[in-house]
Amino acid sequence: MSHTQEVVAKEKSVEENRASSYQSVRPSVDIHEDKEGVTLLADIPGVSREALDIQIDNEILSIDGRVELALQNSAKAGHQATRYQRSFSLSKELDGEQVEATLKDGVLALRIAKRQEFKPRKVEIRTA
């Protein structure tokens, strides 16, 4: 009897472990650069606004999004969790203070502006 209980307890702890562990996925990204800044597009299907965390700390931009699918078969739900994680280092040209993020249909768009001094400037010619 006690042996059975032990086995059950063991299986349960394995289940719990699985439930709390995520499959870490590195999201695919496209990066576009123009005169004013860069746009980073990342595919993170299944991540809601609430489950998405974007941080810029010490010139490191990190994206961390969790997917918790509301699976019909709830006993399996823990196995289906995905976590999108990826970090980028920002070069000195980019302004970490000027970042805009939008999320639509599982695509995250991050717009990061270039610092003023790195933007092309038009020199006005004064009339004499």
Partner 1 sequence: MFARLAGFDHSLTNNFMQLESEMDRLFETAGLRSLHHTSKRLAQPQMHVTSTEAQVDIYLPLAGIDPKAVNISLDKDQMTISGQRDLEKSDSAKLMKKERFEGEFHYQINLPDDIDQERVEASYQEGVLHVKIARREAAKPRQITIQ
Q: Contact residues for partner 1 (CB under 8 A)?
A: 23-26, 28-35, 38-41, 43-48, 60-62, 67, 69, 71-73, 76, 80, 82, 85-94, 104-107, 112, 114
Whole-angstrom distance, CA of residue 99 vs CA of residue 111? 6
Q: Kindly state the DSSP code that residue 116 receives in the 8-state scheme.
A: G
- Shortest Å, Cβ 126 to partner 1: 29
Nearer to partner 1 (CB atom), residue 54 or residue 93: 93
Report how far apart, in Å, the C-alpha atoms of 46 and of each of 40, 52, 106 are: 18, 10, 6
User: Contact 74/62 with Cβ under 8 angstroms?
Assistant: no
- Shortest Å, Cβ 94 to partner 1: 5
- Shortest Å, Cβ 52 to partner 1: 10
Nearer to partner 1 (CB atom), residue 6 or residue 100: 100
User: Contact 40/109 with Cβ under 8 angstroms?
Assistant: yes
